[in-house]
Amino acid sequence: MSTFPNPAEQEEQVDPSVRVLQWLTDNSKVLIISAAVVITGIAGLVGWNLYSENREQEAQILLATAEGYLSVGLYDAALNGVESDFTLGFVQIQSGYSGTKAANLASYYASIAYYELGQTDLALQSIQSYKPVKGILGVGPIAFHAKLLEENGSFLAAGDRYMDAATWSDNEGTTPDFMLQAAYSYQQAGDYDTALEVVGQLIDDYPQSLYVSQAKSLQGKLLVLNS
């Protein structure tokens, strides 16, 4: 019988803690690299969050100044800032702070300023990049988008956008109002079937609304036009 030790038997007799220590020693480089990657990833994530927060705060400060110009009717200053005062406007905030909430809001405010300056095309272009917030606060900007489409002669698209405003935050106040506006836009577009469908829904779903009488009047006209 061989007197040489069996390697398998020797391995079974080794203390498990010794095995772990040996494995750590053999794989120390891999572990160090892996740890470095994890630490770098965490540091990068923290750094990015801090950077994002700082950008948002900066953008909000700049936005407040531009909003001030807008509120007093200085539309060009609101859009482009005032060089002598070292201020920026909505246009620069949109491009320089993209991805922030302030830049998103600047898109909406810029569309208002362009509209007040009679530049409907630029107003439409600006508001198309705006992402409405959830709830009732998102209704106004959507309806304003519909109004711009309507004034641009895009009545069918305006009707669709008014319906977006109507359903964005379902309530007894704004929903029937914008449904009626949608119906008028569909009428202007010559889509009498859709207009009839909308006023019919308004009358059925909101019978106590102040807009029901107007909806019924429009319904009668549409029935004649569609006959």
Domain match, 125 and 218 both = no
Domain match, 218 and 166 both = yes
Which pLDDT score, from 0 to 100, does residue 20 have? 54
Domain match, 120 and 154 both = no
Burial of residue 191 (CB within 10 Å: 0-12, 13-18, 19+) is middle
Domain match, 121 and 196 both = no
Which pLDDT score, from 0 to 100, does residue 53 have? 80
Q: Say if 10 falls within a structural domain.
A: no
Q: Say if 6 falls within a structural domain.
A: no
Q: Answer with the one of 131, 155, 170 that is the final residue of a domain.
A: 131
Q: Answer with the one of 81, 98, 131 that is the final residue of a domain.
A: 131
CB contact set of 110 (below 8 Å; sequence gap of 6+): 78, 79, 89, 90, 91, 94, 123, 126
Domain match, 119 and 149 both = no
Give me the CATH number covering residue 193: 1.25.40.10
Domain match, 209 and 146 both = yes
Q: Say if 21 falls within a structural domain.
A: yes
Which pLDDT score, from 0 to 100, does residue 4 have? 42
Which pLDDT score, from 0 to 100, does residue 17 have? 58
Which pLDDT score, from 0 to 100, does residue 169 have? 93
Alpha-carbon gap, residue 105 to 188, rounded angstroms: 31
Domain match, 203 and 169 both = yes
What pLDDT, in 10s, does the model give residues 127-146?
999 999 999 999 999 999 99
The rounded radius of gyration (Å) of the Cα atoms in the chain is 32
For the chain, percent of residues with pLDDT exceeding 90: 73
What pLDDT, in 10s, does the model give residues 152-183?
999 999 999 999 999 999 999 999 999 999 99
Which pLDDT score, from 0 to 100, does residue 226 have? 85
- Read off φ and ψ for residue 206, nearest 5 degrees: -130, 60
14: DSSP letter: S
Domain match, 46 and 122 both = yes
Q: Answer with the one of 83, 98, 131 that is the final residue of a domain.
A: 131
Domain count, the chain: 2
- Higher pLDDT residue, 207 or 52? 207
Mean pLDDT of the 177-196 span: 97
What pLDDT, in 10s, does the model give residues 52-103?
688 899 999 999 999 999 999 999 999 999 988 889 999 999 999 999 999 9
Whole-number average pLDDT of the chain:
85
Domain of 155 in residue numbering reads as: 134-227
Burial of residue 101 (CB within 10 Å: 0-12, 13-18, 19+) is middle
